[in-house]
A and B are shown apart, each in its own frame.
Chain A
Amino acid sequence: MTDEALAVTQSVVEDFSERYLESLGGTIETRGDTWEVTIQDNGDTELPAGSLSLLCGAGRDDDSTGEPLHPESEVFQRILREAAERRPTGKISIEADQDDVVIPQWIKQGDVEVREIQFTPYYDRTAIVVLFEVSIETVSEYQQELLRAIAIDHRSEQRLPALEETFLQMTSIPTNSSPTTTEFSLSRSDARSLLGTAQDQLMQSIQNEIDEVHNEASRAADAEVEEYRQLQQQRIQELEEERSKLSSKIDELSEAINSSDQNDRVEALKKRKEAKAEYEEVDSELRTLHERRDQGFPQKQEEIRKRHALDIRVTPLTVTQVEYERGELDIELVEQGVSRTVTLGYGSGIGTTDTVQCSSCDSVLSVDNPLKRVKGSLQCRACSSSNE
């Protein structure tokens, strides 16, 4: 299960199914663990119109009638399939709420108090978030399925990892505040172009996983080539022995031909002919094998390599246009009675977009080296402690 996947628990199954059935215009009457569902015949679903009893939870008895509703039940699988295909594109907006402003870690981890924050949005920005399914398969390893979210800004075409996080939080189950979705408003060509960028970014982000499987597959292929090479080497040795035996036999027969009488000579000649034919055969096989070995068994290697090749399939499953606001964030900081306001570029859903440097050492303030002083100038922990 990847980070992007949601855990399929019974309560999630029930929560999701309830919302889905209601969005179809269905009604649900709950009686203990049994749901009496009525679905109208509106053509939006393959679930049977009319009444349907669903049995949820652990209280399923053998004698109760109705369709089971649990993570692996047929009804739930059908609901998931339908829901996934119903509206794979759409738009959500992330509005800036002063209460939800994310204070950067380099301030949070520091020793300076935040007195006030004020976000002033200046303009709306658009991004897309694509959920990709990636399957990695090879003969020696098992298929790996990944689900990954990639966010790309419309204007800059930059990846926005923080927005991916926000998107995943907003679409989790259960959510505190479900976002409202509206119609996707980017043009088809814009969407296609952003999808392409998202694909490129995706491939970069999963490179480590691919490398790991690639290494293992290569190792397996390598082992197979090596075993094959050893087998052939063994065969070469056998054939060499065989050839040397035949060679001695031919010599012996030649000698016999020279020294025996008519009848024996004819017999020996016959035998020598047979031995020579056999010798030729062995010799020819040996030559071919030597040749193939010297070239490194290219055909076999190619065959093995092909069989172990990694097959990676990337499928975009949903595309979400995300509207967010960009502007400036004023943060009033106080330290030992001295206050100072810092203004940073900020976006709803993506957090601060600027980095801030220590005025003494120029290093970028971070969670590991947070802000320590604001008096006079902004100073990092390392600098202020060396001054003390």
Chain B
Amino acid sequence: MGSYDLVDVEVTHESADDLLDSLSEDGAEEDHLQSIQAVRLQAGQPDSELRSLKELDENSVKLLEHQVDAAYRALFEMDGKALLADEVGLGKTIEVGMILKEMHFRETDESVLILTPAQLAKQWQAELQEKFGLEFVCNYDDEFEDFDTHDYIIASIDTAKSERHRQTVLDRDWDVLVLDEAHYVKNEETDRYDLIDRLSYNYAFFLTATPIQNELTDLYNVVSLLRPGLFGTRDVFHQYFVNSNQETLVNRDELQDRLNKVMIRNRREDTDIDFTDRTIDTRTFDPTQKERELYQAVSDYVKGAYSQDQGQKLVLMLLQKEVVSSPVALKETIEKRLHEQSELTHADELESILDLIEEIDTVTKQERLLDIVEEARDTVEMGRVIVFTQFRATQRQVLDRLASEGYTVHAFHGGHSSSEKEQIVEDFEEEGGILVSTDAMSEGRNLQFCNLLVNLDLSWNPMRVEQRIGRVHRIGQKRDVFVFNMALKDTVEEYVLERLYHKIDLFQQSVGELSSILSRLEESGTSFEDQIFERLVNAGSEVDLENDFDAMAVDLQEQRELADKLEEFNNGVFEGFDLGESDD
């Protein structure tokens, strides 16, 4: 690959005077052996072992061998600059968590910046906190001020590169940079690439399951950011490693040697992950006439109010979600709203919705829930069922209803202290019965002892849905998992479930797979939830609405296919490469 004599070699021989001076010093002669041994011991350090591992709480995180190996190699064999390119679903976040935990233990992490796609920032924050006890500030937190005011920051890459923050981010010398979904910086002509290129850091960990997006140059760009010069120049890389039609790699052994210095790629087939089956049972129920009227009234209200004032989007979205969760949840929000805002333009409409709520005596979903838990009482160990709802009011009502029917119930929500939460999970395991939980159930909690889960209502954020399931269907679950989804016919929930979630086979995807689908979709900047809401309020007719959701499903389907294709392509390219666990 050409001759390289571009750089000089400067050799400095340190003076031996001090050493020779010791010839004339007095002292015990036998100490010389100790001096030799001390020098040899000093060279034997630092010992390279993951010393923080024993500090981790086994209940919060179960580490797999390939993850520990990856963290070890990234830290000690790659000197803290690595591209973690495991296939999706193998836990790259865990690998980074371990790395950061170890650096924290060794106090080499005074400032850490984690850059992620916007929709994953909060998830990163929660995982690092729950699984590794690492506290990070996220740029979406109220307490976040700027990039020079906190030392441990998780931010969306687009926030970091924005005009407002860019200079502050660049002015700082970061100890550690973590870049999630690193393939988004593949293009050297983008602001994102430019930002990473200019950032100053000592250690860097880039994550992607698909280092190659379109062409092999992507690999060159991502790797060159981490280890400039590893592949030589762009031209040399092309001439030497890529055949002319851009599709295959040549000189693979040499490329593998070089990639091995910076990239770790574990394949699913090489790991010992073995998931049990997951059965999804979606049940749609006919609402009562009164529930139907209520749903219609709320939907009309939301539509009308949004067309007049888009600033109320969040609360309107909330109402639309609550109406399918439970009338009581809806009632609380409306009352609060009437109470807080004295000059409401639509107060009368809200009042009439309250009247409709009062008229409801049968809450269909809750009645049907009884069927499911009754069935479970006989078929599932200790009748253990987890019921998820997004709303505290719904949770309270469901708990009351179940308790009145004689079931053992447990409540879990964000208001509990962490020791209380532990106690609740313990009680649930020992006593069995039904755990009714909000989405505050932490990811780290070990609930593998339960294998039946009910989604009483569904988040419009598919990641949330998968996270719920992931708490039960995770590594270590020995039984098949059953998931019941409950929805009312002709409601937004039915659309979301039938048209979107089932189309992309959401309930069978792992968080990793989903994030790769969603991050592609959300590249445009609108979140999944927003897209659902916009379609809902902007549709002119029922038919329009159906068509709109179908269009969104087609988009999703396409993204899913693209994501699959990409993974297949990357697997093809790296086939035969041993970039996982090192042999020695």
Which of A89, A142, A214, A217 has the most chain B CB atoms closer than 10 A to its own CB? A89
Q: Which residue of A lies closest to B233 (CB)?
A: A226
B-chain residues with CB within 8 Å of residue A184 when the two chains form the complex:
23
B-chain residues with CB within 8 Å of residue A81 when the two chains form the complex:
38
B44 with A182: CB separation less than 8 A: no
Q: Which residue of A lies closest to B49 (CB)?
A: A71
B43 with A312: CB separation less than 8 A: no
For residue A179, CB closer than 8 A to chain B, the reply is yes
Which B residues, 229 to 263, have Cβ-Cβ distances below 8 Å to chain A? 229-236
B36 with A318: CB separation less than 8 A: yes
Which A residues, 1 to 55, have Cβ-Cβ distances below 8 Å to chain B? 1-2, 4-8, 12, 16, 19-20, 23
Which of A88, A301, A306 has the most chain B CB atoms closer than 10 A to its own CB? A88
Bits for B9-46, please: 1 = Cβ < 8 Å to A, else 0. Answer: 11111101001101110011111111111111111111
B34 with A306: CB separation less than 8 A: no
B384 to chain A, nearest CB (A): 36
For residue B143, CB closer than 8 A to chain A, the reply is no
B76 to chain A, nearest CB (A): 10
A-chain residues with CB within 8 Å of residue B270 when the two chains form the complex:
none
A-chain residues with CB within 8 Å of residue B19 when the two chains form the complex:
88-89, 316-319
CA distance A301 to B5 in the complex (A): 12
B-chain residues with CB within 8 Å of residue A230 when the two chains form the complex:
234
CA distance A60 to B9 in the complex (A): 47
CA distance A221 to B8 in the complex (A): 11
For residue A382, CB closer than 8 A to chain B, the reply is no
A-chain residues with CB within 8 Å of residue B51 when the two chains form the complex:
72
A103 to chain B, nearest CB (A): 28
Which A residues, 156 to 199, have Cβ-Cβ distances below 8 Å to chain B? 171, 173, 178-184, 188, 191-192, 195, 199
B228 to chain A, nearest CB (A): 5
Given A89-B19, A90-B32, A214-B9, A84:B38 Cβ within 8 A: yes
Q: Which residue of A lies closest to B46 (CB)?
A: A72
B-chain residues with CB within 8 Å of residue A91 when the two chains form the complex:
29, 32
B6 with A310: CB separation less than 8 A: no
For residue B272, CB closer than 8 A to chain A, the reply is no
B573 to chain A, nearest CB (A): 22
B7 with A83: CB separation less than 8 A: no
Given A86-B27, A142-B79, A312-B11, A131:B40 Cβ within 8 A: yes
For residue A236, CB closer than 8 A to chain B, the reply is no
B23 with A188: CB separation less than 8 A: yes
For residue A266, CB closer than 8 A to chain B, the reply is no
Given A80-B42, A223-B233, A224-B229, A218:B30 Cβ within 8 A: no
B44 with A8: CB separation less than 8 A: yes
B34 with A19: CB separation less than 8 A: yes
**B12 in complex: contacting residue of A79, A92, A218, A311, CB < 8 Å:** A311
B29 with A173: CB separation less than 8 A: no
CA distance A92 to B46 in the complex (A): 29
For residue B227, CB closer than 8 A to chain A, the reply is yes
Given A140-B227, A313-B12, A181:B33 Cβ within 8 A: yes
**B228 in complex: contacting residue of A7, A8, A224, CB < 8 Å:** A224
CA distance A5 to B37 in the complex (A): 9
CA distance A262 to B81 in the complex (A): 69
A222 with B233: CB separation less than 8 A: yes
B4 with A219: CB separation less than 8 A: yes
Which of B22, B23, B235, B236 has the most chain A CB atoms closer than 10 A to its own CB? B23
For residue B224, CB closer than 8 A to chain A, the reply is yes
Which B residues, 202 to 228, have Cβ-Cβ distances below 8 Å to chain A? 224, 227-228
For residue A278, CB closer than 8 A to chain B, the reply is no
Given A72-B47, A226-B235, A305-B6, A312:B12 Cβ within 8 A: yes
CA distance A320 to B33 in the complex (A): 9
B12 with A145: CB separation less than 8 A: no
**A87 in complex: contacting residue of B35, B231, B236, CB < 8 Å:** B35
For residue A227, CB closer than 8 A to chain B, the reply is yes
B233 with A83: CB separation less than 8 A: no
CA distance A112 to B46 in the complex (A): 47
CA distance A314 to B12 in the complex (A): 6
A-chain residues with CB within 8 Å of residue B20 when the two chains form the complex:
89, 188, 191-192, 195, 319
B6 with A218: CB separation less than 8 A: yes
Which of B13, B32, B51 has the most chain A CB atoms closer than 10 A to its own CB? B32
CA distance A184 to B19 in the complex (A): 12
B-chain residues with CB within 8 Å of residue A221 when the two chains form the complex:
6-7, 229
For residue A328, CB closer than 8 A to chain B, the reply is no
B-chain residues with CB within 8 Å of residue A179 when the two chains form the complex:
33
CA distance A223 to B229 in the complex (A): 6
Which of B10, B22, B236 has the most chain A CB atoms closer than 10 A to its own CB? B22
B13 with A180: CB separation less than 8 A: no
A7 with B44: CB separation less than 8 A: yes
CA distance A138 to B4 in the complex (A): 15
A140 with B28: CB separation less than 8 A: no
For residue A85, CB closer than 8 A to chain B, the reply is yes
For residue A210, CB closer than 8 A to chain B, the reply is yes
Given A86-B31, A318-B36, A199:B13 Cβ within 8 A: yes
B-chain residues with CB within 8 Å of residue A191 when the two chains form the complex:
20, 23
For residue A272, CB closer than 8 A to chain B, the reply is no
**A8 in complex: contacting residue of B23, B47, B224, CB < 8 Å:** B47
Q: Which residue of B lies closest to A131 (CB)?
A: B39
Given A1-B43, A80-B41, A203:B11 Cβ within 8 A: yes
B40 with A219: CB separation less than 8 A: no
Residues of A within 8 A of B (CB): 1-2, 4-8, 12, 16, 19-20, 23, 71-72, 79-92, 131, 133, 138, 140, 142, 145, 147, 171, 173, 178-184, 188, 191-192, 195, 199, 203, 210, 214-227, 230, 301, 304-306, 308-320
Interchain residue pairs with CB less than 8 A apart (16)? A1-B44, A5-B43, A8-B41, A16-B34, A83-B35, A89-B20, A90-B31, A173-B37, A181-B33, A183-B29, A188-B23, A215-B4, A219-B230, A305-B8, A317-B19, A317-B39
Residues of B within 8 A of A (CB): 1-2, 4-14, 16, 19-20, 22-24, 27-47, 51, 79, 224, 227-236
What are the nearest 9 A-B pairs in CB distance? A220-B229, A90-B32, A218-B4, A5-B43, A83-B38, A147-B43, A226-B233, A87-B31, A84-B38
